[in-house]
């Protein structure tokens, strides 16, 4: 499994360059109320919890089994669905896959397969070295989770070409690093970051990203997330950037409904339509 290059991560942890203007989200279509993948169209969701996706060792060398939960629209007859994989925040020190359960639930209600994952944590980390190691562990775990979803796509009726990596805070950094993979093409179709940025620099041909940022965030600077967006746009890639004026680091919860709506519509328009999906109204 690839790992984040430590030297690049150290520089990114230390400082992210401030760059220019923040890009706005392009105008989107107004879709009918029962449009699958854009609007909530399923009333019930079936959740399969605690699925093991990776066995590895923690920072103390102890064996650990990492697990994920899968959220599927109940009664869905589609044979192949896009998936959104959500990753929690907590500075790689704390948190679990239940933190963003509302995001996975919402995804399934719209017809996606929603997924939440656990990844390795270092609760006693101190200093840049530990932070780099913790971020690298989480990065490797999140890549393994994407690969697991693609390998098990038939079981959960997932389109392996339409797995989107997403997250909040540290989980958003995982997601962005999944996209700007320093050693090869990303296995994800796109990335969504809530209050996060990328440690690794973009390249031409990288996957599209959507970023959400509070302008008053004191934990993840708006300049850091803007730097990621502007850098990938400079390479000719797609980045749409949404700001919440006066919003702090906790926009995943204070602005959760708006973020979920925007994310679903963005994925449909920027990822699924280019893959050949069409607007389908669910009765």
Going along the chain from its start, the domains and CATH numbers come out as 6-275 (3.40.50.1820)
Residue 167 is encoded by which pair of tokens? Answer: 């997250």
Res 231: pLDDT: 98
Res 60: pLDDT: 94
Residue 279 is encoded by which pair of tokens? Answer: 């607007």
SS3 210: strand
How confident is the model over 227-248, as pLDDT tens digits? 999 999 999 999 999 999 999 9
Whether 27 shows a pLDDT value over 50: the answer reads no
State the number of CA atoms in the 13 A half-sphere of 257 facing the CB. 1
**Which pTM value belongs to this model?**
0.90
Of 22-26, 116-120, 257-261, the range with the lowest mean pLDDT is 22-26
Whether 2 shows a pLDDT value over 70: the answer reads no
User: Mean pLDDT: which of 165-174, 198-207, 271-280 is highest?
Assistant: 165-174
Whether 21 shows a pLDDT value over 50: the answer reads no
Helical H runs in the chain?
6-14, 101-109, 127-151, 153-156, 170-179, 222-234, 251-254, 256-267
- Work out the pLDDT band at 63, boundaries 50, 70, 90: very high
Res 184: pLDDT: 80
Whether 274 shows a pLDDT value over 60: the answer reads yes
- Higher per-residue confidence, 229 vs 30: 229
């Amino acid at each position: 499994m690839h790992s984040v290059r430590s030297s690049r991560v150290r520089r990114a942890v230390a400082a992210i360059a401030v760059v220019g203007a923040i890009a706005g989200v392009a105008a989107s279509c107004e879709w009918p109320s029962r449009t699958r993948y854009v609007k909530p169209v399923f009333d019930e969701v079936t959740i399969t919890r605690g699925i093991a996706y990776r066995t590895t060792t923690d920072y103390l060398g102890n064996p650990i089994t990492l697990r994920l939960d899968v959220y599927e629209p109940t009664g869905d007859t589609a044979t192949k669905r896009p998936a959104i994989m959500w990753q929690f925040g907590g500075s790689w020190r704390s948190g679990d896959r239940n933190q963003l359960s509302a995001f996975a639930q919402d995804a399934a209600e719209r017809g996606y397969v929603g997924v939440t994952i656990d990844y390795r944590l270092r609760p006693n980390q101190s200093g840049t070295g530990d932070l780099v190691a913790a971020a690298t562990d989480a990065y490797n775990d999140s890549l393994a989770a994407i690969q697991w979803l693609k390998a098990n796509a038939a079981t959960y009726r997932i389109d392996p070409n339409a797995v989107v990596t997403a997250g909040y805070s540290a989980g958003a950094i995982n997601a962005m690093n999944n996209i700007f993979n320093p050693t090869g093409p990303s296995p994800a179709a796109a990335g969504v970051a809530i209050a996060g940025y990328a440690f690794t620099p973009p390249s031409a041909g990288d996957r599209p990203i959507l970023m959400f940022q509070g302008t008053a965030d004191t934990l993840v600077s708006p300049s850091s997330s803007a730097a990621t967006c502007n850098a990938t746009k400079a390479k000719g890639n797609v980045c749409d950037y949404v700001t919440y004026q006066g919003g702090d680091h906790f926009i995943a919860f204070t602005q959760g409904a708006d973020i979920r709506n925007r994310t679903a519509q963005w994925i449909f328009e920027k990822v699924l339509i280019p893959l050949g999906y069409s607007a389908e109204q669910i009765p």
